[in-house]
Amino acid sequence: MKRSIRSLGGLAVVLLLSLAGEPASGATMDIRAVFRPDPANPMHNEFINMTPVTGHCASQPAFCKENGLFSLLTPIGFQSVGAIEAGNDQRSGPMFRVPGDWRRLSVRHADTQEEAEVEVRIVSIGGRYILSDTAENLVGEGEPTDWSGWHSRLLGNWTWAPPAPCRGTGGMYVLPNSRTFFWLTSGTSVCAARANYRIPGFTYERVQIGYELRAPDPLKMSSGQYYGDLTYTVGPGMDFDMGDIMQPDDSVLTLSFNLDVEHTLKVDLPPGGNKVVLEPEGGWNRWIESGRKPTRIYRDQRFYISASSRFNVMMQCDSLGGTRCHLRGENGNSTQVETKLSLPAGITGPGDGPVKEVPLLNNVWIGPFQPGHYLDRKPGSLRFEMPRDAVDFLIRPGFSGTLKGNITVIWDSEV
């Protein structure tokens, strides 16, 4: 009962790059996600992103919620190394190409070194461009004559209707010398705009990068902390390519992942369930009154299990080994009993089959048993039954007394 997790599959996130001053050796962003079973929604076995929200989604929460987005700020910015000329070619103006292909990284358990695979791809980009002068001064006289109109005359309506194949999303604003934008990208295709007037200086601030994750199945992971990094290059011709005119203040962006797995494994017995009395089917009186010898002496003890991770089971008792445990009396008499495990539907055993009356072994782990989804207080049973030869030994002339023994069943998700 030592473990825990939640799923990230298909989670869309937005990273934001803000302008930094001095070049750095590499920018790193921490991304944390948690799996914790939810009894109210047991079929939803996914990681939940727990990274604090900053940037665009902090100011536009309704927009991001509607579009399934999440945003962060990172310490990278871009500055033009020269003027953007009117009618610029693709690489000499506002241009964006992101690593929209799936990239794979391994996350590793901090204690056991167990590994799991995570896949990431970039699916959106945006932020705020800042001009070296107001858009009104750069375009001069002409119509339209409002903030939005001056910016549209300068670069076309690229914030509201971005250059293909990018797609707009809305939720933006405009100021005299700056404008925000946020686009959905298309794989590794280039989205580029053309200036209609000369722009002496151009800066990107709060550049938003959205990503999607394919997370591992948390039900197949051990509880604990998993860590892994994915590093992207930034600059002309790199993973994040903003053209030749726009230079980043850092050439590396690393996403540092922490997946926190918090499994549930809990087994509850009903009141009095820790004391088991073995008897024939229908009770002793039925067999005494019939004058016949019982063929079976046993008891099925129900329990309730909550489980989200694979686990092993081991029995411990007074035994010489194998499946049999000793029950002993005060006068030195003894007999033997076997214990068999049945688990609820939704949990499979070795070989991926159902778990029905699986014999437990003394001091030997049996398993692993794997839930296909989170189970919350589902019934299983332990059958304590005397083997046939033990019944014959017990039901014999002159035998009397009470036989007792302790059997401990241990459940462990530390696999």
Q: 3-class secondary structure for 226-292?
A: EEEEEEEEECCCCCEECCCCEEECCCEEEEEEEEEECCCEEEECCCCCCCCCCECCCCHHHHHHHCC
Distance CA 86, CA 385 (A): 89
Distance CA 328, CA 341 (A): 23
Instruction: Indicate the DSSP class of residue 165.
Output: T
pLDDT for position 398: 66
Percent of the chain, pLDDT > 90?
Answer: 56
The reply to whether omega before 350 is within 30° of 0 (cis) is no
- Range from 54-58, 71-75, 227-231, 393-397 that averages highest in pLDDT: 227-231
pLDDT for position 283: 82
Residue 406: CB atoms within 10 Å: 10
Q: Is residue 226 over pLDDT 90?
A: yes
Q: Is residue 95 over pLDDT 70?
A: yes
Compare 302 and 40 and report the one with higher pLDDT. 302
Alpha carbon separation from 114 to 219, 374, 392 (Å, rounded)? 14, 21, 50
Work out the mean pLDDT of the chain and round it to a whole number.
86
- Three-state secondary-structure class, residue 388: helix
Picking from 322, 321, 341, the residue whose alpha carbon sits closest to that of residue 411 is 341
Q: What are phi and psi of 62, to 5 degrees?
A: -65, -40
Task: Catalogue all structural domains in the chain, each as residue range(s) with its CATH number.
Answer: 11-261 (no CATH), 265-412 (2.60.40)
pLDDT bracket for residue 165 (50, 70, 90) = very high
> Which residue is it, tokens 């690393």?
254
Tokens of 238: 């790199």
pLDDT for position 24: 42
Say which range, 76-85, 123-132, 289-298, has the weakest mean pLDDT.
Answer: 289-298
Distance CA 222, CA 43 (A): 19
Cβ neighbours of residue 132 closer than 8 Å, sequence gap 6 or more: 177, 199, 200, 201, 202
Mean pLDDT of 53-69: 77
Alpha helices in 278-367 (DSSP H): 284-290
Is residue 316 a contact partner of residue 408, using CB atoms and an 8 Å limit? Answer: yes
Is residue 72 a contact partner of residue 54, using CB atoms and an 8 Å limit? Answer: yes
pLDDT for position 135: 96
The residues facing 74 across adjacent strands are 17
pLDDT for position 91: 96
Count the helix, strand and coil residues of the chain and give each as a percent rounded to the nearest 5: 10, 40, 45
Identify the H or E element spanning 390. Answer: helix 388-394
Q: Is residue 315 over pLDDT 90?
A: yes
Q: What is the pLDDT of residues 254-287, one digit of tens each?
A: 999 999 999 989 999 999 889 999 998 878 887 7
pLDDT for position 89: 94
Say which range, 45-54, 225-234, 321-330, has the weakest mean pLDDT.
Answer: 45-54
The DSSP string of 29-46 is EEEEEEE---TTSTT---
Q: Model's pTM, two decimal places?
A: 0.77
Say which range, 9-23, 86-100, 342-356, has the weakest mean pLDDT.
Answer: 9-23
Q: Is residue 238 over pLDDT 90?
A: yes
Tokens of 200: 């002496």
Q: Is residue 7 over pLDDT 80?
A: no
Alpha carbon separation from 239 to 11, 73, 216, 267, 317 (Å, rounded)? 21, 19, 24, 49, 61
Mean pLDDT of 112-132: 92
Say which range, 14-18, 63-67, 253-257, has the weakest mean pLDDT.
Answer: 14-18
